[in-house]
Structure 1
Amino acid sequence: MDNQHISSEISPAFEVQGPSQATPDPLANESLHKALDGQPDDWDAVHPTAATPLRFSFSGRGKDYLSLWLTNWILTIVTLGIYSAWAKVRRLQYVHQNTQLGGFAFGFHGEPKKILIGRIIGIGLIFISNATNIFGAKLAGFFSLMFIIAFPWLYRSSIRFYTRNSSYRNVRFRFVGTAKAMYSIYLKSALIVIFTAGWAFPYVVYRLRRYRIEHSRWGNNAFQFSSSAGAFFGIYILNIVVTALVMLGLMALAFASSSSLLKGLSKEISNIMTHPTQSQILIMAGLYLLFIYMVYVIGRVLTQDLIFKESWNHIAIGKSRFACDLSIVRLYFIRYGCFIASLLTLGIFIPFAHMIITKRRIESISVTPSHDFDVAQATLDEDTTRSAEVADMFDIDIGW
């Protein structure tokens, strides 16, 4: 149920991905309205008031996604994992196809072969860097160093792959971030994290998010990101405080169980611990999983949701601004309920949970469009178009 998944989770700048459609080349020298052949070409006719916020909508259904999910798993197992790349494309296409803004669906056009190549490279690098017994410590260390050096390039290629293969209103998104800028962020971030013993990690997350968003384009329109490093530090500090309070609360509850008020219950627990039955073991294991998931949701997923909301409230494209009214507390209980339902159904509810959470996140986003949002130019000079086609040869995906 992750986003990175879902999320995590409309191009990397938007953190939603979606469906392959037969579309004209969005990089050709023609206006957006020509590219929208067969679709309404007058935004004002559909949306009389340009200043009225438009909300994203998601129409994906758990029943449909369950069928897709089961098919993907079966084919992935039968092909010993090879089909997983095609499965990922089908999943992203489904999410994109069911994500709409102003009556138009998003599109995803990625090639499974590039995802498969990226996974082979990633698995190969990880295996080689950890195969000390096969290659020896020195050679394994050398390969580990090569992996560290190659990671920024792989990360940038993955971002560009998702961005260039996502579209809205038949206009492709683009990513113009350079490898030089990525390596600069990577080197500076590594030094900062080392010298601060990891305490500056929120700054690294902020810089990577900013790099990803500010170098994304829709047609010729650039995205802007106005959040600050301080806001990201605040998110991580809040996460530490909330997690600590929950842990203290659970410890207090455990301590209270040994008090005179709960002496009988404490005795019962003691008997279970010393002579547990099979059913009691299962119950204890279930309670343990619920406890672990509670800490996990607070410690990791809560942070992701807060970053998601903070980011969307500070994203703009041209003069059009985005907003997010996601209720973090409500989503937390939804996640927890989905987790319990998934346990009780032995995993069958997972696809439904994915759709529920995805819908909640996507539909919390809105945009107040300006005129340039409608007439985003899909015109690029021939040199840019040609170089983009060449760059597409080197785009791969290393994510799962």
Structure 2
Amino acid sequence: MTNETNAAPTVAAFGTNDTPIWGMSAEERLRRIAKSRGHAYDPAAASGPLLLSNLVYVFDPAWMAHLETRPGTVMTRRGVPVLAHVEAGDRTAVEAAAKGAPLPAHLTVVAAEAEGGILNEALRKREKPFAEQLTPANVAAIERLSYLGAYKGVTDLLTKYLWPKWAFALTKLSAKIGLSPNGVTAIGSVLCIAATIAFWYGWFWTGLAAGLVFMVLDTVDGKLARCTITSSKLGNAWDHGVDLVHPPFWWWAWAEGCAAYGRPLSDTVFWWVIGAMLFGYVAQRLIEGAFILRFDMHIHVWERFDSWFRLITARRNPNMVILFALLLVGRPDWGIVAVAIWTMISLLVHLWRLFQAMARRSRGQAIESWLA
């Protein structure tokens, strides 16, 4: 039986589970996932289309997003139904299948352990989302899977390779003490401002220390929100707003601070650096936006090259690696000049990729993500 109506499915549940995960029960987690996806939650729903969840298991929210548009589909783990998009009339059959009975032949089965995985466009990656039985013995393992599932597949080299262990520990600590994602963002915002002030006065090592903690917390707030299913419009706007606004202030402050440090830039070099970085920063953002508007995907997930280049492109974290490396040899002035040059090179690469995509489409070629 398939869903023949356009009604949004209600999230329902069966089974019980007293084991908490990320400080909440399996049912509370399911309720939050339902709310975040815009679904009504009624555990005992007995009419209309349902997204029916087995509370003995927990799953990555990506599974709910995947099944929303696939009525008549059951996601299983080792043959046991975990989440099903079915009509209410199939509810009894799905619950019976969780106890060993066969599923009705008209339902399509998707195994969570299948190798193909699914595309998560929001996090720019093809993934195999977790779906696991929740028991006290495997809470730690599932929390780690949940955390890793919240990670973007295409990002910069620090976020991808250096931050994960630090951010995971801080995410667990934040959840344990009840610190909200917005609380983490607030702490990070203060450190971001402190770093800006330190750079301005030439206290580069102090600024780098404050900036390092801020950059890690910038990862923690988003992961905490996804793991505890507590994302909010305010938190999202605040986090992304800080991310968008602060980098030019950091570069300007660093350039100013070179004089206090004893390595001043000449007026000509100073304004060339500031102009290049401001223009390059804004132009790259506009190119990324234009690519999304024209091709309905991020430029960084078009081809393998684009995903690789995102590791090192002139965004905040790779730029900070450049500044750190040249500060080690006592030349913060060389560092900010190098960042300006790298910003312009990155701009040219992105402009070239945009024009390439436009040219290929004009020749009738499809522009699709290599992750799809």
TM-score by length of 1: 0.28
- Greater relative CO, 1 or 2 (CA 8 Å, sep 6+): 1
Could you tell me the TM-score, scaled by structure 2's length?
Answer: 0.30
